A and B are shown apart, each in its own frame.
Chain A
Amino acid sequence: MEALATFYETYQSTIAYVGLNALLALSVYTTLSCGQLALGGAGFAAIGAYASALLTLRAGWPFPAVLLAAVVLPALVAVPLGLPVLRLRGVFLAIATIAFGEVVRLGIVNWDYVSGAEGLVGIPQKTGVWMIYLALALALFVLGRLRGSRWGLALEAIREDEPAARTMGIPVARYKLAMLVAGAALAGLAGALEAHFTFMVAPSGFGFEKVVHMLVFAVVGGSLVHWGPVLGAALLTLLPEILREVAPRVGLEPGPLRQLVNGVVLLLVILFLPRGLASLPLRGRARRARWVES
């Protein structure tokens, strides 16, 4: 029991980051689940993080109210963003949302009230690891309930063939907007939880790299089922911890080695397992089913 406590002490921040990254990965998943590649997640996380930090530091709101605001505010921003942007197709949606994220980041850099590029420091640590996992569990529960429901089937129909879904009378635009808003809320919540875990927020933490990481978690884990992104986030957050041990033995620095492994994993997954690691058990089942039939 004591060993367990020591283990938890040592790896507390890693455990927290697995949860935070899983929330961020789910925020990419929400739009991917209806076939849309929206990459504004870092911008929404920044809005959530900064709003929460300001409400705690300058307004002294209680933490539950702060978290609620960090969920609601990005969601409200997502509506006017989504209305024009979601008309764009494929790569163009990705580019427009990347531009949105950069505008948010650069806006923060140029905003003196939040001390620009230096960021806000001295945020009290109010996030418990249990809160992160409670949020994750709630998100997974809701997304899990969607599968097979009328709503979930509509999303699948949009993902597989958008014009056909529209022809069948599915209000495509409304579903896409709803998922963008849900993703923004999740990213904002993750941003607020992280800000109150690490004592600080800075715009450099919400750049293009951040959203690339979020996307990589979701793609490597797989966006076909809701637990895929969580799997991807867990795996890719724990991997650097393991690599830090391995790196000296293969004569590489941990930084480049981590980058190399991330890149290779992503490449292998997109080439050979386009539906992500979570599709492995499904594949096995399909093969067994075929075998039984023959």
Chain B
Amino acid sequence: MSIQQLVNGLFVGSMYAVFALGYTLVFGVLDILNLAHAAVFMAASFVALTLVEALGLSILAALPIAMVAAGLLGLVLERIAFRPLRARADSNIAGLISSLAMATILGAIAHELWGPNVTRFPFDTLPNATERLGGIVSRMQLTVIAVALVLVLALTWLVQRTRLGRELRAVAESPRAAQVVGVNVDRAIAASFFISSALGGAAGILYGLAYDVHVEMGRSVELKGLAVIIVGGMGSMPGAVIAGIALGVIETLVVAQLGGSFRDVVSFAGLFLILVLRPHGLLGAAATREA
């Protein structure tokens, strides 16, 4: 494996990791699968593109603004699609369906706003120089990996070291107990949606910078993101990062060895085997996933 392939794999994997981190945050806190996460991924990419193209902002300014926009979208999702269902006995299945509905609605709105065409960030958004590191590695790839690394570290700090992080972990453990010790559960859940969606949005912007921006771009990550969080272990953030990066590297190798059409077989076959053989994932706690 050449250094070039390794960097290619890390580059793809770091986008998977950031996307999956957001996915698994909500999953870990609420036990709910937010299938609109991929729609937020797409919407944020369009918002950043609009900021760069229409307002002429630099990507360094557009990235945080679009992440905040994605976070706000997450708050809307939580309010409309999840909070009303929280008291229901089958809230995890109902939430899965309502988030699917929100994903459909967001897709339709994006289609109306930005059209069905495949668009790209302007050519000079990122410096397109290349570096020689035992192969040709583009600046763009290194930038994406660096941004992903910063986001992962920031989230780790937030969850491990801040009051909000402690509250999130308490709610993940038991919402009722958290409430008893004075955690504002509604606020903690809303915060987890904000952070989760901001991360999903960041992944979308990175993906848009690396490839292109279009209404269907979420398709490329929605199911793979699932594979990553399950393989990594439910709600496990280190697991999501490791599984995301591993998936990127393995995919790159599979494409190099077997050809492009086998790329996606790896993630789903792996996901399936993990669910059957080791349902709590590689790093997850032995949660009650089995009846």
Contact = CB atoms under 8 A, between A and B. Distances in A.
Contacts of A225: none
A212 B289 CA distance: 23
Given A90-B92, A95-B271, A102 B264 contact: yes
Contacts of B112: 252-253, 256
A102 B223 CA distance: 9
Nearest to B103: A263
Contacts of A100: 272
Contacts of A102: 223, 264, 268
B158 interface: no
Q: Which of A87, A88, A91, A110 has the most CB of B within 10 A?
A: A91
Interface in A103-161: 103, 106-107, 109-110, 116-117
B270 to A, nearest CB: 9
Interface residues of A, number: 46
Interface of A: 35, 37, 84-85, 87-92, 94-96, 98-100, 102-103, 106-107, 109-110, 116-117, 162-163, 208, 212, 215-216, 219, 252-253, 255-257, 259-260, 262-264, 266-267, 270-271, 274
A92 B279 contact: yes
Nearest to A84: B276
Contact of B102 (A94, A117, A267): A267
A263 B100 CA distance: 8
B161 interface: no
Nearest to B222: A208
Contact of A90 (B93, B104, B108, B264): B93
A168 to B, nearest CB: 15
The B interface, classified by DSSP as helix, strand, loop or mixed, is helix
B111 A256 contact: yes
B275 A270 contact: no
A265 to B, nearest CB: 8
B101 interface: yes
A164 B151 CA distance: 45
B262 interface: yes
Interface in B97-127: 97-98, 100-105, 107-109, 111-112, 116
Given A87-B291, A270-B101, A99 B272 contact: yes
A99 B271 contact: yes
A266 B227 CA distance: 25
A88 B264 contact: no
7 contacts: A88-B290, A99-B226, A99-B269, A109-B261, A162-B291, A219-B97, A267-B101
B230 interface: yes
Given A89-B291, A96-B272, A259-B104, A103 B109 contact: no
A35 B291 CA distance: 12
Interface of B: 31-33, 80-81, 84-85, 88, 90, 92-94, 96-98, 100-105, 107-109, 111-112, 116, 219, 222-223, 226-227, 230, 261-262, 264-265, 268-269, 271-272, 275-276, 279, 288-291
A252 B108 CA distance: 10
| Closest 10 pairs between A and B when the two form their complex, measured CB to CB | A263-B104, A263-B105, A260-B108, A267-B101, A266-B101, A259-B108, A256-B111, A102-B268, A96-B275, A99-B272
A225 B85 CA distance: 22
A274 B94 contact: yes
Contacts of B288: 89
Contacts of A88: 275, 279, 289-291
B84 A274 contact: no
Contact of B265 (A103, A208, A219, A257): A103
Nearest to A251: B112
A149 to B, nearest CB: 24
A94 B111 contact: no
A266 B111 contact: no
Nearest to A172: B291
A91 B291 contact: no
